[in-house]
Amino acid sequence: MAGNSFGNIFRVTTWGESHGKAVGCVIDGCPAGLEINEGIIQKELDRRRPGGRLASKRKEEDKVEILSGVFEGKSLGTPISMLIWNKDVDSKPYEEIKDLFRPGHADFTYWVKFGIRDWRGGGRASARETAARVAAGAIAKHLLAKFGVKVGGFAREIGGVVCNTDGMSFEEIVENAEKSDVRCPDEDAARLMEEKILEARREGDSVGGVVEVIVKNPPAGLGEPVFMKLDAYLAYAVMGIPAVKGVEIGAGFRAARMKGSENNDPIIIKDGQIRFESNNAGGILGGISNGEDIIVRAAVKPTPSISKPQRTVNYRKMAEEEIIVRGRHDPCIVPRAVPVVEAMVAIVIADAMMMQGLIPRFL
């Protein structure tokens, strides 16, 4: 099975299944001398961890163990291996539907590709795998912070409710988002988002939304023409996250409805430097960062596991049947997807900076 590794110099491989013994990752290419401890990684994992009023009732500690690559609190430059045990696994609800393909899931496509699939919670296709990405992303974020680059995200939209961040600084957006159960920095919008999620849960349904991630203080010059453009690399990274069905940079799809005079960002002199008056480009021009904030948005689909009856096929009987998916599922993935999108964006920026020679092999 290919496709389990991501990155060029800062390279991440994840492993594990939703209801297997554990999930984890291996990072190759992390510079030597970076101060690392499990607390740095645990902080990010706690943000993604299941449980809570609006999320899945699966109770996982998501306690990380660093197995290799760190000695006396610093990275060795050798592969960093991390382990996260699965402790609250309940596969019973899946036994009764193991021969049925769940609509909206990867059940059919995994079966048709490999001739076998792990029906326990989705196996490798489950969002449980993203815990490993967040662990790797925690190290990437920590590395970037050493060079003054910050990565933060929030729920821009849930269930059709869009938040307003006008007038908020990057720090205010991130701080306010972390105080919210739905990771929305706009209190009024957050209340409406919660109502939409709870309404969907009562109906046995789910809702989707949009995650926005901001990269603050990125250096100009990141990205490689023509096929390794930075925006293309970011889209590749974010589209690989389960449930993400679309990615936009800066103005994104709004640019299709704008005139050139509206979309172009005027170039100005500010504090003795060449800067841009607006940021419809989302910090990237011609696939190369221009020094402005990098803005990435991910469209997250509604959770496919819902308790409403749906039509499907029993592949052993080759007969159409009705399916009701039971178990512990999020009525909305968006709040927990925020640290996942942050992680993938951070990995891309760290990798791009290393390819540009802006981060040395040892610190």
User: Is residue 361, in this structure, part of any structural domain at all?
Assistant: no
Please report whether residue 360 resides in a domain: no
Say what the pLDDT of residue 338 is: 98
Question: Would residue 363 count as lying in a domain?
Answer: no
Residue 87 lies in a domain: yes
Averaged pLDDT, groups of 10, the chain, 363 residues long: 92 95 97 97 93 69 96 98 90 89 95 93 91 98 98 98 98 97 97 97 96 98 96 98 97 98 98 97 98 98 94 96 87 96 98 97 93
Query: Taking the mean position of all CA atoms in its chain, how far away is CA 83?
Result: 19
Number of domains in the chain: 1
In terms of residue numbers, what domain contains 42? 5-355
Is residue 290 assigned to a domain? yes
Terminal alpha carbon distance of the chain: 35
Pull the structure tokens for residue 19: 């209801």
In a domain, 21, yes or no: yes
Structure tokens at 163: 């938040």
> DSSP characters for 150-170?
EEEEEEEEETTEE---TT--H
Three-state SS string over 187-204 comes to HHHHHHHHHHHHHHHHCC
CA 204/CA 310 separation, integer angstroms: 12
- Measured CA to CA, the distance from residue 284 to residue 352 in angstroms comes to 13
Residue closest to 24 by CA, chosen among 60, 67, 53, 58:
67
Q: Residue 52's pLDDT is what?
A: 66
The residue to which tokens 């970076």 are assigned: 34
What is the per-residue pLDDT for 58? 65
CA dihedral 90, 92, 95, 100 (to 10 degrees): -70
Tell me whether residue 362 is in a domain. Answer: no
The per-residue pLDDT for 68 is 98
Closest Cα partner for 302 from 336, 326, 330, 323?
330
Residue 342 lies in a domain: yes
- The CATH number of the domain holding residue 297 is 3.60.150.10
Q: DSSP for 312-329?
A: EEETTTTEEEEE---S--
**What's the pLDDT at 51?**
66
